[in-house]
Structure 1
């Protein structure tokens, strides 16, 4: 009995330490990006990518704050704790889908805005969304698979999640998601290789944003792969330190990385001197090639204007 109490106290300490780190990291990250967010979002005309940025930014902040307060840091009744953990898991799925949409939109941008590719990628995403809905219903919305236990210690009472089935279902559901992410990252790398060959043939330097977006695809793939592995680990009977560290990564890294990947494109654009400005990448992008003109008349007008300025 005393050993069980010691384990409960240890789990409480790990939960509280993890919660403090989550709240600190997310709050600090929010303050770091606030100035750039005001500059690139609130003071400019909104686009689709702007809306996606705001959703992932504040949905992630909302989920991180709930996660940080859940458990032993603040006391919550058992029924409230269960409802919140179900909300958190559904929120994770929504956040993941939004991240995939951002990757698809960026991939569409660097693939000459191919409508066919866009429709194919979105069509392949629909089964993944259906799988996530089934996972949230079967694994996270049933007390028989995921429940919340109220733990009483000599000093405090807190709630702890209980994963009642093994990791086998989580493993099976993660395989299609990982395969889809592999498909996206391979497609992004193939697009980059094609772009580099084309630029080498015409002796022009590669487009900065194509390289950046492919790099973001690789980073996000590594993040999602790690997230799926750690999410599966939670369903195994692991120790409190392993569970807390896994939750620390899952509850901070996606919420920090996704907004940064979006805003870094805007920030890079603002620091460059552009020859030609395009909206191909959903907001603004500097192309390394010179502008093209629709007619010789337009060229003559520009030439005359330049002579008058001289």
Structure 2
């Protein structure tokens, strides 16, 4: 890749990062009044704690990703630790987000303890797999490293993955399968709910419809993330 292509790529990175960060900040400020009303001014619960962790930790990770890689220059020694923090942060964020999905399914399924125990029992091995994968991938510089590139016109750091995509693929398979299970369960619960409501000629519960919609949206986004992760590790040009 020539220096001009590198500069053009970094410029596009900056052009994309700035509006995305602006849009995210606007969205968070837009919903702040509702958050204060429905979360901060109400009694604390497990769901409210999970919500705040996912909301603000997700914003923190998004800002780190937006600024790193061209928008701001960060030295190699700092970049390595920062990228490791981001990758571990993604795993932590995933665990908390999945916990919210499990809790929502538990709520809309009449608080079925059997369903809750089954979902948690299936989720714990995925958490262990995610932790083990992060330890294996991001604790050794021979597997994962950050390279600082210096040219007359640009200075930046980039990632370097020194092994093939198989670890990412092996980790993604159970995660995607588990998300498929969650979205199928949510759709089945909604279908049963709609059938029951039609029988008594009542409208569907808007909160249940919203929860299932978010399940589907999260599944699509997480599937996209897993595919992009495999592409990144495999060095597939996009």
User: Which stretch shows the higher mean deviation, 52-61 or 65-74?
Assistant: 65-74
What does residue 58 of structure 2 align with? 60
More displaced 10-residue stretch of structure 1: 113-122 or 137-146? 137-146
Aligned position for 1:274: none
1:148 corresponding residue in structure 2: 146
Q: Which residue does 2:193 correspond to in 1? A: 195
Aligned-partner Cα distance in 2 for 1:206–1:32: 28
CA distance in 2 between counterparts of 1:211 and 1:22 reads 28
Deviation at 1:181, TM superposition (A): 0.5
Residue from 116, 127, 136 that aligns with 2:134: 136
Contact 1:167/1:232 (<8 A) preserved: yes
Q: Give the CA deviation at 1:148.
A: 0.5
Unaligned residue ranges in structure 1 (runs of 5+): 243-310
Moved more, 26-35 or 178-187: 26-35
Instruction: Return the offset for 1:238.
Output: 4.0
Which is higher, the Rg of structure 1 or of structure 2? 1
Task: Identify the match of residue 158 of structure 2 among 157, 160, 178.
Answer: 160
Q: How does 1:1-310 map to 2 (within 5 A)?
A: 4-239=2-237, 242=238
Is the CA contact (8 Å cut-off) linking 1:8 and 1:153 kept in structure 2? no
Give the total of aligned pairs. Answer: 238
- Secondary structure of residue in 2 paired with 1:127: helix
Distance 1:216 1:71 in 2: 30
TM-score (norm 1): 0.72
Moved more, 140-149 or 196-205: 196-205
Structure 1 residues 244-283: Cα deviation after superposition (integer angstroms, max 9, x where no partner): xxxxxxxxxxxxxxxxxxxxxxxxxxxxxxxxxxxxxxxx
The Cα shift of 1:24 comes to 1.9
**Cα deviation, residue 157, structure 1:** 1.7
Moved more, 96-105 or 39-48: 39-48
Distance 1:200 1:89 in 2: 46
2: CA distance, partners of 1:71 / 1:197: 50
Question: Partner of 1:279 in structure 2?
Answer: none
8 Å CA contact 1:9–1:153 kept in 2: the answer is: no
With the length of structure 2 as denominator, give the TM-score of the two structures: 0.92
- Structure 1 runs of 4+ aligned residues shifted over 6 Å read none
**Aligned residue in 2 for 1:290:** none
Distance in 2 separating the partners of 1:161 and 1:183:
33
> 1:54 Cα shift?
0.8
Distance across 2 between alignment mates of 1:205 and 1:29: 30
Report the Cα distance in structure 1 between the residues aligned to 2:41 and 2:146, rounded to whole angstroms: 44
